[in-house]
Amino acid sequence: MLTQSTWPHIDNTLQREFKFKDFKVAFGFMAAVALEAESQNHHPNWSNVYNTVTINLNTHDAGDIVTEKDHILANAIDRIAGQFTLA
């Protein structure tokens, strides 16, 4: 059974943008996501500009398509984001 996330599915990726209070909060969020991604052995494509973190998820080993692994990580990222102050 596929675990669904609320992230938009665009161009074979799950995409979401997070805006935080400032750079320190955004970087803390990224550090927490990095630890979770490493524990799942599933790593995001992401970028950070000041207080904004943009994340794109797809599974490279499956031909760069969205798989259940992406939805599981997206849900974990949403839980992590809930621990940080969003802008």
What are 2-37's pLDDT values in tens digits?
567 789 999 999 999 999 999 999 999 999 999 999
Homologous superfamily, domain 9-81:
Transcriptional coactivator/pterin dehydratase (3.30.1360.20)
pLDDT in tens, 33-74: 999 999 999 999 999 999 999 999 999 889 999 999 999 999
What is the model's pLDDT at position 4? 74
pLDDT, position 79:
96
Where b means 16+ CB within 10 Å and e means fewer, 45-71 reads ebebeebebebbbbbeeeeeebeebbb
Enter the pTM of the model: 0.92
